[in-house]
Amino acid sequence: MQITIEMIETKEFKTKPRGYDPQEVDEFLDAICDEMARQMDEIAALQQQLAAAKAARPVVEAPTQQLKPIAPVAPKAVPDADFREILEMAQKVKSETIAAAEAKAEEILAKAKEEAAAKLDNLDVEKETLTKQVAALKEAAADYRAKFESLLQAQQEAIEKASDLF
């Protein structure tokens, strides 16, 4: 609901014994009406200024002639000397890159060979150690077998002597 100045001026409030002071309410409502009137006048003045500004603004018309398409720019011709210099630089960069790659490859290969040789040396030492351990185990097994066989032989002889007794 839009409130107008007339609505504020004609509004009547019920009074009660303990309500607002009617004179104070009326004075405040009058102040509201005055402020609303001032704002409405200001809005009207601004709308008039806007209309005047729009009327005073020159009208810009679009050009009636057709625009010509822009021709593509031809690439700048490179003199033969510059072209040769660029080509020589490219070949130099290529050669340097290949040389660096080959050096890196050789370095990687040398490192891999070194690591492989170290691992082979370690494996040879480990093989010798294991061979010695196997030989020692075979010798121990042979000693055990000989002792076991002599023990069995002694037991068999004891059994034969004991059977002579019975």
Q: What is the pLDDT of residues 35-91, one digit of tens each?
A: 888 888 999 999 999 988 888 876 656 556 666 666 666 666 656 777 788 888 989
> What's the confidence (pLDDT) of residue 19?
78
Does the pLDDT of residue 121 top 60, yes or no?
yes
From CA 53, how far away is CA 46, in angstroms rounded?
Answer: 10
> What's the confidence (pLDDT) of residue 25?
83
Q: What is the pLDDT of residues 89-108, one digit of tens each?
A: 989 999 999 999 999 999 99
Selection from 15, 47, 16, 11 nearest residue 30 by Cα: 11
Q: What is the pLDDT of residues 20-51, one digit of tens each?
A: 777 888 888 888 888 888 888 999 999 999 98
- With bands split at pLDDT 50, 70 and 90, how would you rate the model's confidence at 166? low
> What's the confidence (pLDDT) of residue 11?
79
In the structure encoding, which two tokens stand for residue 140, read together? 């121990």
In the structure encoding, which two tokens stand for residue 106, read together? 């050789």
> What's the confidence (pLDDT) of residue 109?
93
pTM above 0.75?
Answer: no
Selection from 27, 24, 30 nearest residue 8 by Cα: 30
> What's the confidence (pLDDT) of residue 17?
76
Q: Under a CB-based contact definition with an 8 Å cutoff, are residues 5 and 29 in contact? A: no
Selection from 123, 122, 103, 99 nearest residue 111 by Cα: 103
From CA 101, how far away is CA 89, in angstroms rounded?
Answer: 18
Selection from 124, 120, 122, 144 nearest residue 132 by Cα: 124
Q: What angle do CA 116, 117, 122 make, to 5 degrees?
A: 95
From CA 37, how far away is CA 35, in angstroms rounded?
Answer: 5
Q: Where are the alpha helices (DSSP H) in the chain?
A: 5-10, 22-56, 80-165
In the predicted model, what is the mean pLDDT of the chain?
Answer: 84
From CA 112, how far away is CA 104, in angstroms rounded?
Answer: 12
